[in-house]
Amino acid sequence: MSDTFPPGFLWGTATAAYQIEGAARENGRTPSIWDTFSHTPGKVERGDTGDIAVDHFHRRAEDVRMMADLGVNAYRFSVSWPRVQPTGRGPAIQRGLDFYRGLVDDLLAHGIEPVLTLYHWDLPQELEAAGGWPERETAYRFAEYARAVAEALGDRVTRWTTLNEPWCSAFLGYGSGVHAPGRTDPVAALRAAHHLNLGHGLATQALRAVLPASGQISVSLNPAAVRARTQSPGDLDARRRIDALANRVFTGPMLTGAYPEDLLADTARLTDWAFVRTGDAAVSRQPLDSLGINYYQPAVVSAAAGQDASGQGAGRKDRRDGHGASEHSPWPGAESVAFHQPPGELTEMGWSVDPSGLYDLLLRYTREAPGLPLMVTENGAAYADKPDADGAVHDPDRIRYLHGHLSAVQRAIADGADVRGYFLWSLMDNFEWAYGYGKRFGAVHVDYETQRRTPKSSARWYARLAGTGVLPEVPIG
């Protein structure tokens, strides 16, 4: 197996608007569901909010220069929907678009390709007040917003992503309630999943109508590498159930134009899926130029004996699925499934370090979507990084993590996967959703008091990789 990545491979970093921008009330921006959620007592650790985040709105030029110094050739960022369309309806405001025009111009001036994500979880609060993603109208509003952004930036941005991790939007936002808007209704979660699928399809149609022929459209999913704890019939059925809820609920409509029959059967006691109208799944299936894969850890599942006497089932607060603690499950119709901590080393998030899950997913979607290029649009790890006495930040654990996962990408390519790029999560430490500022994923350390940026050892290691296309060795010590 060659240790050199293919020519033209994209080496990027990734961020999300609410996690880094700050300027929550400037230039006409209105609250998103994450503004409301983070300001609700008890929802985010330590009461942290994204009001300031890492002040990227005001430090944009500095941050782009830092990216250039790191040698990356692509940057995946998201547009804040309430910054450019404050009510979620009607025309975009130019001062909101101007921030992203400036960002794109800065990136291009430094030889960095902009990779734009339209939705990374910051639904305008006004649309949530009207029902949010469980309501069909939100899908149409999303398509209108997509068109407005494409009309403003389509002449300079080639790569577009509709949604980031719609599973989290639907099932953590409306099922378990650990993400904004914090609702806990299993039927609302399934309705949200459908309208996210529909919104993806409608937005893709809107983008195609506006973008030049060179425009590239994708979606970034966070598919689960689901593994049965044993090969018993019950454990294998648990894997099937979670695979349907984690993966095929989106890839079914998006890639084949139909929901899987077993998913509909598993959830029939909750809903008859009457919210799916004739033709919806076909609208969701739009031609894509690539499929984004976000990966952090595998999921290990089994049948829960005796209604989960161990206290680890899909409906229990101490469920070990890696998606936060809640009395409410993000797995509707899967109360008979227990989750188990995968073996091995853990990150600061308590997530298993297991590159084989990434390899498995890349090969899976190579088989299931032949001819569709793949991108690893998120991969990374949180560790307790601290500056030493000289101010340097050494993070050897992250380097080992990246080396292992990038080796898995190389193996997948050698075995036939058409992987076109890799985006490290994240460019810099930031607001980590319900964990606030307590978890650091960045290749660049941020002092939240001073906003000083300090590239970590992993940033320099990644820069060597981006510059040569050859996977560097892991430093000793």
Active site residues: 165, 378
Do β-strands 226-228 and 374-379 pair in parallel, antiparallel, or remain unpaired?
unpaired
At 329, give phi and psi (nearest 5°).
-90, 145
Distance CA 201, CA 139 (A): 9
Kindly state the tokens that stand for 253. 């409509």
Q: Within 13 Å, how many C-alpha atoms sit on residue 359's CB side?
A: 15
Kindly state the tokens that stand for 454. 């300090």
Distance CA 475, CA 477 (A): 6
Start-to-end CA distance of the chain, whole Å, equals 26
Neighbours of 36 (CB within 10 A): 17
Kindly state the tokens that stand for 27. 């230039």
Strand order in the sheet with 299-303: 226-228, 299-303, 337-340
The vertex-402 CA angle with 397 and 406, nearest 5°, equals: 155
Q: Name the amino acid, one letter, at 19.
A: Q
Torsion of CA 163, 224, 254, 121, to 10 degrees: -20
Neighbours of 449 (CB within 10 A): 6
Those residues whose C-beta lies under 8 Å from the C-beta of residue 441, and which sit 6 or more positions away, are 380, 381, 382, 425, 426, 429, 430, 432
List b or e across 388-425, with b for residues whose CB sees 16 or more CB atoms inside 10 angstroms.
eeeeebbbbbbbbbbbbbbbbbbbbbeeebbbbbbbbb
Cα-based distances in Å from 451 to 58, 97, 345, 454: 11, 25, 31, 10
Distance CA 194, CA 199 (A): 8
Classify the phi-psi angles of 464: left when phi > 0, otherwise alpha if psi is within -120 to 50, otherwise beta.
Answer: alpha
H/E segment holding residue 302: strand 299-303
Neighbours of 224 (CB within 10 A): 23
Q: Are 430 and 378 in contact (CB under 8 A)?
A: no
